[in-house]
Amino acid sequence: MGLNSWQRGRTALVLIISFFALLSCTDTLESERVVYSNDFSTLDLAGFENGKLFVFQNDTVAGFYHNEEIAVNLDDLPSHNLLKITLDILIHDSWDGNPNDGIGGPDYWFFGIDNEEVFRTTFSNSPCESTYCLYQSYPDTYFRQNRPKTDAVKTNMPGLCLFGAFQNYTTRYSISKIVEHQNSNVRIYMNSDLSATNSPDPVCDESWSLAGITVEALILK
């Protein structure tokens, strides 16, 4: 029995998908090299723009920030066609996640390389009950609906300012992304777009810190 047009189209689509899947399986990671790593324990801010340090829970971190861009500039990178960037961040106090009311949210955090944004998401430190829950997008990009603190590395830390006397108001995340890149230098930037227009002290209400950054140069062929 011959194939009808729908079946022929479906067969062609399966073949195309299989072909590209086969190509991806032939890629080989030829080299992987850590070109930069900083947990700020040595108080090193070389190459940073808007870098500042403070101690939170006995660890030295870069911060804290509220709608302020920070960046690290790296030069003389080895030959590569991909960069793997891992960022450990701390989300402090009353982040509200996804609500799009222009008053308390959405509360965005994002990063990019050079002039290109790589990842934009939201975070929520809100309690989540059956009758009230302010969802976040992380670990997905905005606008996905996930429960507050989904995929957090650590949650049982006090807030920094507004909720400094309360546990579970600082949340730690480790964000890792692989991006195409070939130049010998790179500028990695991070920022937030936080809505706290109903707060008399927005910086105390919502802020974030950078606890660590690692950059790896990869060659994939």
> What confidence tens digit (pLDDT) does each residue in 37-87 have?
999 999 999 999 999 999 999 999 999 999 999 999 999 999 999 999 999
> Does 21 reside within a domain?
no
Return d(Cα 67, Cα 181) in angstroms, integer: 27
Q: Give the torsion sign (CA, 144, 180, 22, 6).
A: positive
Name 46's Cβ contacts closer than 8 Å, sequence gap at least 6.
none
Cα(44)–Cα(175) distance, rounded to whole angstroms? 21
What CATH number corresponds to the domain at position 37?
2.60.120.260
123 in a structural domain: yes
pLDDT value of position 219: 98
Range of the domain at 113: 29-220
Q: What is the pTM of this model?
A: 0.88
The helix or strand, by DSSP H or E, that contains position 20, with its residue range, turns out to be helix 5-25
Task: Kindly report which listed range (14-28, 173-187, 203-217) carries the lowest average pLDDT score.
Answer: 14-28
Least confident of 18-32, 40-54, 185-199: 18-32
Whether 47 maps to a domain, the answer reads yes
- pLDDT of residue 1 exceeding 60, the answer is no
Number of domains composing the chain: 1
Residues 124-169: tens digit of each pLDDT: 999 999 999 999 999 999 999 999 999 999 999 999 999 999 999 9
Does 24 map to a domain? Answer: no
For residue 215, being part of any structural domain is answered with yes
Domain assignment of residue 2, yes or no: no
In this structure, is residue 4 part of a structural domain?
no
- Alpha carbon distance 71, 80 (integer Å): 21
Tell the residue number behind the tokens 């920070």, with chain if given: 70
Asked whether the predicted pLDDT for residue 198 surpasses 90, the reply is no
- Residue 15 pLDDT: 46
Does residue 12 lie within any of the structural domains?
no
